[in-house]
Structure 1
Amino acid sequence: MDRYPPIADHGLVGDLQTCALVSSEGVVDWFASPRFDAPSVFAALLDHDGGGYFRIAPEHPDLICKQLYYPGTAVLVTRFMSPDGVGEVVDFMPPDQSRTRTDRHRLIRLVRAVRGTVEFTLECRPRFDYGRAEHRLDLAEDGARFHAPMADAYLQATFPLEADGRDVRGTVRLDAGQSAGAVFTACDPGGAPPEPLTLDAVHAQEDEVTRFWHTWLRQSRYRGRWPELVHRSVITLKLLTYAPTGALVAAATMGLPEQVGGERNWDYRFTWIRDGSLSVRALLDLGFVEEATAFVHWLVERLREREGKEDEPLQTMYRIDGSPDLPEENLEHFEGYRGSAPVRIGNGAADQLQLDIYGEAVYALSQGREIESQSSYEGWRTFSRTLDWLADHWDRPDEGIWETRGGRQDFTYSRVMCWAAFDHGLALAEHWRRPADLDKWRAARDAVFEQVMDRGWSEKERAFIQHYGSDVLDASLLLMPRVGFLGSRDPLWLSTLDAMDRKLVSDSLVYRYDPAASPDGLRGSEGTFSLCTFLYVDALARAGRLEQAQYTFEKMQTYANHVGLFSEEIGPSGEQLGNFPQAFTHLALIMAASTLDDALDAEHGR
């Protein structure tokens, strides 16, 4: 067992309220309960010795491990090949789409031999509350119960289990065609034990979960060139959405490093206004109106909560239930992934000023007739007051999209998105024929535009730059043509795109910016940003550079992991870095594929 497998060496399973990562060695080394942003139960990915894990795998020394999903589902199959035979562990969690939080979450592991004879070993070592809480083990004939102060968990199996200190072990030997099952159920303290486990029940659950995902995916109206890649991405977005509120978490994990051994290790299990808002268009493009609408409702609720207050109408991020409290602290007892410390929970960037979020929020609210929550009178009043506030407050330095900790700047991207907020707001007012201070919004929009053109351009680089007074390039500006600030073939934009080609692109991969040229208040470096690479594809396609766009898109696919998932960044040797999988990357993939498909169809006269 690898103490710290590569970040990309995992598949994702989930029940739409929380999720788990399973390595290709059959190890569940990340799982939090009862929801995405709850304390971990298994976190060996952040501390092998103290984080806890749940392993089912053969012990054979000459083992070859492979992973795949059942097509069109979130049912993960881990295959083990040895001279004695071929075995599989099938992992899944029964989805719960209810609008109420569920306190009982089941990770089901179907074990089977498909050729020869395979002996599997089970090790279950939960470590509650990020490994800070002790637990007690009660072992009985019908399974094991783990008691901790803040949670209980049950482990059931269709084969014998035995105590291993406060943990549990078991073995099962299967011939070809035979199967067994194990179910880990996390619940609140004192939760009632689950129903007795039978193998028939495990198989029935497998069939039910498979049907759920097939039925859900049939809504997709994507008919482009990359269906498997796009559908894996939209399934991943669904897995990262908290069903009770419709909030999309930025990633499944916390604390995974942007540079191994470095300090850029953040908690991404929260909902960023930016990420969630941009997901709305991607979901609508594929036909998933319910998911897009749910997030917009969540967003409108955040705006209503801050009405009448003197501070900003929106915070940069929230917990998935809408709570604004995300205090950041370090887990000093965790060594971090391959020694990457500190391991942080919470996120201090929640208190930053990031003015671009208003552009993304308005962009989400203006996405077509499918989204009508803001068309009610009360919804419109909330919306218009937000833009009135922005008209009075847009011209301020902020921390920017990348949440730098090196001080506030006049970030060009923040100004561009403020322009987008006013521009889309004006269009929305006309569409819904609602009252608004249109002169004020129009004046603010035009003032932002003129300021960006006067101060956001570098004659030296012949490009729009990261912040006023600098010559640093920034890949966030790849969104300028998508939001309509400049035409996709405007000479100024094409010059900016050429400058990015020279300064930010490496083997088709795109850096956010150069930290050496623009200090961000943090030590170390980072890899290329996968989100930015897909935004680059989008921008190339819009600029008519279709051969380059398609080659970049195809090349980027070679950096996906074995089951089509992307983390936040790609390192120098092609390894995936940062939290995994990252929703922003997958929604940008969907956007890029849709734009490129449309451009290629237009070129070929379809």
Structure 2
Amino acid sequence: MSTTPIAEYALLSDRHSAALVSRGGSVDWLCFPRFDSPAVFARLLDEEAGHWSMRPSAPCRVTRRYLDRTMVLETTFRTGAGTVVLTDVLLVGADNSGHRLGAGAPHVLARRLSCTEGEVTVEVEYRPRPEFGLITPLLSEVDGGVTSRGGAEWLVLTSPVRLVVGEDDARGTVRLRAGDTWYFALHRSTLETPARVWGQEELAAGVDATVAAWRSWSDLHQTYDGPWRDLVHHSGRVLQALSFQPSGAIVAAATTSLPEDVGGERNWDYRYAWVRDASLTMEALWVAACPDEASDFFAFLTTAAPSLAKDKALQIMFGVGGEHDLTERTLPHLHGWRGSRPVRVGNGAWQQRQIDVYGELLTAAFRLADQLTGIDEATRRFLIACADTAAERWREQDQGIWEVRGAPRHFLYSKLMCWAALDRAVALADQLRAEDRVESWRRTREEIRDTVLRQGWSDQAGAFTQYFGSTELDASTLMMPLVGFLPADDPRVLATIDAIAERLTDDQGLVYRYRAEGGVDGLAGEEGTFLLCTFWLAQALAMTGQVGRARAAFERAAAYRNDVGLLAEEVDPATGELLGNFPQAFSHIGLVNAAWAINQAEHRTPTRALP
């Protein structure tokens, strides 16, 4: 099994695929040619499932960073005899104009070794294992590298030094002196571009072009200038890195089956496009980077969800190419991260009913209205259908935002977001040319509001609760002021915020989604605190004018970013380790929105006395 801490990893992306690189210089996760493709390297989930490592043979000190305004990783190894810098990058290709960053990605993972002082010997070990470690491919030496064939994969490794091909791997050493620079690369064959050995100058140009492309995108799009500016901009780049350029889809995370509970069964595949997560990502990019991908995103959903008008239900998630069938299965040959099994691919939640998605989608459309002035007829009809569906289905029970695998319930958050769907639809009616529906949408919106206020509040809990008739707290109720359902200074909102801050947090002040031991989610075991929920608390506190408490909550959550600024889904309350799929879009969305809310609060008169 794999034991490397999740925080040890850094993300690479070409907006098609994702790789994770450890502090030790090992690529332990790589999915070619898409985020949701089978992994070529999966040591993240099992020691025997493939990797590509480059590391000095001598003991060394390690530091790393992303190059300024990029997602290009630089790892510096300092030995007693010298220093070598490893630069890792998924090449984005030549066509990077406008929002087309990654459009010409050649499906190449490039690695540059540069010796900056002294002399260093670096050991290279290449062990591809296609299909999540199921296949041991045939490796062959060729001029300038090594070929790998097995299953559906044809890979070519470029190496400027000879690697000795063994029974199931290729190994070699590189001796570098100050001033030496060598390039390595892994190229995946496609129908359009057969894999090949790349030249040194060609790789140098590709790395430089990728650095320039990320910097150009950042300079063009990132204008936020409030508190935690660098963190917000970096989170914006992470969210951009989790977007699938060919379709406009946005994945929830780059990985599958990193657990919410070490050794437990809460291990899910997040390499897909959730309507909810992607909509919230688009909203966060409105703050962190001008989201000129808005039209692509809505076009993706309009194409991916043609069944909405037919059966009045929007599927909650899709493959990054718009695929509907995401049938879940387990990979029994993998032992899982720290023995957390089963390892899953696919996600059974694709068949769930979650009626909140209409609210997130229309809220994103409302926020991005300036980018959607020229929406086509299909997108206009799709957004109208989303509002009509929310109006029709809001009374239904569902699985809720947390995708519980227990019995459906009348979750408050789901009703809240149906209200938000209709509220935003009314505001967008002129742009959608739906003036004839406004009166009906308003009536239903008010009916939802009255029902939530009547059935969602618990005198016993002294707060709004998880589902109608419940006394259980749920962090998703923090969204009530965030979407404008109630004013932030409403006594019921203030009481709910305080109840969550006091009774739904761990000893460090991090917020749980809910108390898993209640059995509502149909799963055994516990889970960690949820970083998104802690950022929600910060955002809600800022809206009440409690800026001091908001800043403290923000700092508590942001402190769990790793050394290169990445956040996972959860934090282990016992150890403080990162848990869950990584990096997690939800967590970076929360950081961006909380920083924005605090910035706004600091520039207006508070509605409640500061502590």
TM-score computed with the length of structure 2 as normaliser: 0.94
Contact preservation (8 Å) 1:504, 1:511: yes
Distance 1:14 1:384 in 2: 34
CA deviations on 1:526-570 (whole Å, 9 max, x unpaired) are 110011111111101001110011122123222110000000001
Q: Does 1:209 align with 2:210?
A: yes
CA deviations on 1:86-121 (whole Å, 9 max, x unpaired) are 212110111156699879411100012222211001
Distance 2:115 2:382 in 1: 58
Distance 1:384 1:203 in 2: 49
Distance 1:383 1:292 in 2: 14
Residue type of the partner of 1:511? Answer: Y
**Shift of the alpha carbon at 1:193?**
4.0
- Counterpart in the other structure of 1:67: 64
* Other structure's SS at 1:523 match: coil
Query: Is the alpha carbon distance of 1:373 and 1:398 closer, same or farther for their aligned partners in structure 2, counting shifts above 3 Å?
Result: farther
**Shift of the alpha carbon at 1:385?**
2.9
Q: How does 1:229-378 map to 2 (within 5 A)?
A: 229-303=231-305, 305-312=306-313, 314-372=314-372, 376-378=376-378
Query: Is the alpha carbon distance of 1:571 and 1:52 closer, same or farther for their aligned partners in structure 2, counting shifts above 3 Å?
Result: same
Q: How does 1:48-63 map to 2 (within 5 A)?
A: 48-49=47-48, 51-60=49-58, 62-63=59-60
Distance 1:431 1:490 in 2: 32
Distance 1:447 1:371 in 2: 31
Q: Does 1:223 align with 2:225?
A: yes
Q: How does 1:520-559 map to 2 (within 5 A)?
A: 520-559=521-560
Residue type of the partner of 2:262? Answer: V
Q: Does 1:18 align with 2:56?
A: no
Distance 2:121 2:101 in 1: 41
Distance 1:310 1:3 in 2: 44
**Shift of the alpha carbon at 1:518?**
4.6
Contact preservation (8 Å) 1:359, 1:421: yes
Match 1:580 to one of 579, 582, 585: 582
Query: Is the alpha carbon distance of 1:190 and 1:272 closer, same or farther for their aligned partners in structure 2, counting shifts above 3 Å?
Result: closer
- Counterpart in the other structure of 2:609: none
Contact preservation (8 Å) 1:571, 1:577: yes
Distance 2:603 2:362 in 1: 29
Residue type of the partner of 2:80? Answer: P
Query: Is the alpha carbon distance of 1:431 and 1:180 closer, same or farther for their aligned partners in structure 2, counting shifts above 3 Å?
Result: closer
Contact preservation (8 Å) 1:259, 1:526: yes
Range 394-403 or range 282-291, more displaced: 282-291
Q: Does 1:515 align with 2:516?
A: yes
Q: Does 1:156 align with 2:158?
A: yes
Q: How does 1:403-418 map to 2 (within 5 A)?
A: 403-418=403-418
Distance 2:545 2:365 in 1: 29
**Shift of the alpha carbon at 1:375?**
5.1
Residue type of the partner of 1:406? Answer: G
Contact preservation (8 Å) 1:365, 1:374: no
The number of aligned residues is 598
CA deviations on 1:467-526 (whole Å, 9 max, x unpaired) are 011100100111111111111111110011111111112323110000123531111111
Residue type of the partner of 2:57? Answer: E
Contact preservation (8 Å) 2:294, 2:368: no
Distance 1:589 1:467 in 2: 26
* Other structure's SS at 1:35 match: coil
Unaligned stretches of 5+ in structure 2? 607-611
Q: Does 1:477 align with 2:477?
A: yes
- Counterpart in the other structure of 1:91: 88
**Shift of the alpha carbon at 1:141?**
2.3
Contact preservation (8 Å) 1:247, 1:298: yes
Contact preservation (8 Å) 1:541, 1:549: yes
Q: How does 1:27-42 map to 2 (within 5 A)?
A: 27-42=26-41
Query: Is the alpha carbon distance of 1:348 and 1:472 closer, same or farther for their aligned partners in structure 2, counting shifts above 3 Å?
Result: same
Contact preservation (8 Å) 1:374, 1:383: no
Distance 1:310 1:223 in 2: 45
Contact preservation (8 Å) 2:107, 2:188: yes
Range 204-213 or range 579-588, more displaced: 204-213
- Counterpart in the other structure of 1:7: 6
Distance 1:24 1:418 in 2: 44
**Shift of the alpha carbon at 1:311?**
4.7
Contact preservation (8 Å) 2:399, 2:408: yes
Range 135-144 or range 573-582, more displaced: 135-144
Range 132-141 or range 429-438, more displaced: 429-438
* Other structure's SS at 1:221 match: coil
Contact preservation (8 Å) 2:539, 2:598: yes
Distance 1:79 1:101 in 2: 30
Query: Is the alpha carbon distance of 1:40 and 1:455 closer, same or farther for their aligned partners in structure 2, counting shifts above 3 Å?
Result: same
Distance 2:182 2:122 in 1: 10
Contact preservation (8 Å) 1:362, 1:424: yes
Query: Is the alpha carbon distance of 1:492 and 1:122 closer, same or farther for their aligned partners in structure 2, counting shifts above 3 Å?
Result: same
**Shift of the alpha carbon at 1:138?**
1.7
Residue type of the partner of 1:26? Answer: G
* Other structure's SS at 2:27 match: strand
Distance 2:563 2:510 in 1: 19
- Counterpart in the other structure of 1:133: 135
Range 36-45 or range 83-92, more displaced: 83-92
Range 565-574 or range 22-31, more displaced: 565-574
Range 180-189 or range 32-41, more displaced: 180-189
TM-score computed with the length of structure 1 as normaliser: 0.95
Contact preservation (8 Å) 2:120, 2:177: yes
Contact preservation (8 Å) 2:478, 2:537: yes
Range 383-392 or range 63-72, more displaced: 383-392
Unaligned stretches of 5+ in structure 1? none
* Other structure's SS at 2:603 match: helix
Contact preservation (8 Å) 2:315, 2:350: yes
- Counterpart in the other structure of 1:47: 46
- Counterpart in the other structure of 2:419: 419
**Shift of the alpha carbon at 1:434?**
3.0
- Counterpart in the other structure of 1:590: 592
**Shift of the alpha carbon at 1:603?**
5.2
Q: Percent identity?
A: 39
CA deviations on 1:68-95 (whole Å, 9 max, x unpaired) are 1111111101121221222121101111
- Counterpart in the other structure of 1:567: 568
Query: Is the alpha carbon distance of 1:253 and 1:196 closer, same or farther for their aligned partners in structure 2, counting shifts above 3 Å?
Result: closer
Q: How does 1:434-473 map to 2 (within 5 A)?
A: 434-473=434-473
Contact preservation (8 Å) 1:88, 1:114: yes
* Other structure's SS at 1:544 match: coil
- Counterpart in the other structure of 1:182: 184
Residue type of the partner of 1:212? Answer: A
CA-based RMSD of the aligned residues comes to 2.0
